[in-house]
Structure 1
């Protein structure tokens, strides 16, 4: 049986020396354009031998810190700054990015729930397949920058997945600290499980780092600094940027972990969400997290959602209108090197 081949083609050659920019061409035949293609921006900076990193953003189209930050790095870095190769995919789910939506307006696809993808599938599945089977096998590292998008707001955080190898875990923690976000957390099992880029990187043997840099469909100067200066520090530490490249020192980072479903609080009813806790606040098990008000029957008492455990409010819902099952908060707890699932 022949090996699947992506229908997406690249205008640039990832093996050429120097700096290249162009598009990935995803064939898309529709009423207004019978022989058209979707132009997904891509770039590559290569200089000699060294590690390869994929800088990716726009996995969700309404998360802007990485899309802007990676663009700044692309414009300001030259081949003479690099020792190895940097591949830029700044608006990975391009249809979603152009619409400013979490998911693609073409097929409703959530790219970060679409891996390993399908070369014969819809638009989002084809993008996922190309990333996992064409781009990632060329890479040693991937930095996939996220935020809370339109519906969530995070305490700006860098993140990675827990590694059972203590030495590799320590190396990952060093990168998280270098990113210089106010918080950094280690996740045992990311939302989306084996359908995420994190899982795709694991299948391809690529070291994955990510972020949740704010959200609410907004952009802050402090979050953008992490997306630019934090990545510069990390790439310099990994030897992909030369020692001569200047970087600002990192701000202190609080190391946290996110382990199980008890870290999350979900809406018990539909209505208007009143948060009772601020981001960064320490909470106790059983503490009220928020109220859901019934504006259609205002004489009813609101429903109350509670935290199931102690922790630090790492993420909260930004939208007031809420439906049963929406995530209202999730917590982080101080990082522990123990690999016990009970920690």
Structure 2
């Protein structure tokens, strides 16, 4: 399958050394018939050992991971590495340049496009290359996200449920090492399900960790600091950066998202007035917010309620909202010492 990809790079993944170049994504346009779009890539390989695939910019309007990986790529020297680091701080480069969640080339949402298509749209070609070339080299995959333009998120890490109890325990251990204040097990409800990078990595046998480091298309200092420290802890544990100095991980709170009742959606177009903040504990039946209608000033605002209890994991960032927009997502505590966590 690797031979089917239309993306190419001068980087030799098996060569010892620190290489910095890019993937070439073919794209033919009015002004560039045989052109390509760069996707920045750093490969650092030194001797035998595991491979870590580190990605940010899967969505272009999420910034903590882009900076954290750029810093790591710049600071890491060849002699520090045992094994291989593959660093892509701007995977969906067209979206990164545009500051958008989706690609301006094809309106593709990369984290809803896996496993991709070698002969498809630009976004599908990127997803296919990641699935068929990069992930098969990796023992562990970290995909750094935040809430982007539309959501403010609690600083957190997440994994998909392990397919076996052994795999699940390894994933929980990754979250403990990463050290986010909140770690949650997600089955993709409300998101991409099996079409995400994490799902593709798991399908191909790699351990995959995702994050939510902030939101609102701004930069969270807390999220950036967590990304940098958490990555170093994971890489040291994997034996890839053995001599790097790390701070101990803080305790993490294990949670999950329990189905569609954990979400609050807008039912009409208007101005959203939230009644809860991220990180707040709320109860079923509590007022979540109101939708106001400035075009109909005598119309009463629509009041929305939480259907379940839990911690507010994310809240819509823009005040203007439309029918179907996600306003809130809640998380509930889980007992990771039991099998319930596996099937959450």
The alignment's TM-score, normalised by the length of structure 1, stands at 0.95
Deviations 1:30-84 (A, max 9, x none): 1111221101101111111111110001000000111110111111111211111
Distance 1:342 1:320 in 2: 35
| Mapping of residues 197-216 of structure 1, within 5 Å | 197-216=197-216
| Mapping of residues 44-193 of structure 1, within 5 Å | 44-189=43-188, 191-193=191-193
Match of 2:16 in 1: 17
CA pair 126-68 structure 1, distance change in 2 beyond 3 A: same
Determine whether 1:241 maps to 2:238: no
CA pair 113-137 structure 1, distance change in 2 beyond 3 A: same
| 1:195 Cα deviation from its structure 2 partner | 1.1
| 1:342 Cα deviation from its structure 2 partner | 8.7
Range that drifts further, 161-170 or 8-17: 161-170
Match of 1:335 in 2: 334
Range that drifts further, 176-185 or 142-151: 176-185
CA contact (8 A) 1:11 1:25 kept: no
SS of aligned partner of 1:133: helix
The alignment's TM-score, normalised by the length of structure 2, stands at 0.95
| 1:258 Cα deviation from its structure 2 partner | 1.6
SS of aligned partner of 1:339: helix
| 1:4 Cα deviation from its structure 2 partner | 5.9
CA contact (8 A) 2:61 2:96 kept: yes
Distance 2:308 2:171 in 1: 27
| 1:158 Cα deviation from its structure 2 partner | 0.8
| Mapping of residues 253-272 of structure 1, within 5 Å | 253-272=252-271
| 1:251 Cα deviation from its structure 2 partner | 2.8
Deviations 1:2-48 (A, max 9, x none): 98611100121111111100010111111111221101101111111
SS of aligned partner of 1:290: strand
SS of aligned partner of 2:239: coil
Deviations 1:261-303 (A, max 9, x none): 1111111211000010011111111111110011111211111
CA pair 233-272 structure 1, distance change in 2 beyond 3 A: same
| 1:306 Cα deviation from its structure 2 partner | 1.3
Distance 1:232 1:141 in 2: 13
Deviations 1:197-244 (A, max 9, x none): 1221122111110000011001121110111111101111122211x2
SS of aligned partner of 1:80: helix
Distance 2:343 2:247 in 1: 38
| 1:341 Cα deviation from its structure 2 partner | 9.2
| 1:250 Cα deviation from its structure 2 partner | 2.2
CA contact (8 A) 1:188 1:259 kept: no
| 1:317 Cα deviation from its structure 2 partner | 0.4
CA contact (8 A) 2:54 2:87 kept: yes
Distance 2:314 2:2 in 1: 42
| 1:164 Cα deviation from its structure 2 partner | 4.3
CA contact (8 A) 2:168 2:342 kept: no
Match of 2:195 in 1: 195
CA pair 249-314 structure 1, distance change in 2 beyond 3 A: same
Range that drifts further, 129-138 or 232-241: 232-241
CA contact (8 A) 2:186 2:257 kept: yes
5+ residue gaps, structure 2 = none
5+ residue gaps, structure 1 = none
Q: How many residues align?
A: 341
| 1:189 Cα deviation from its structure 2 partner | 3.0
CA contact (8 A) 1:290 1:305 kept: yes
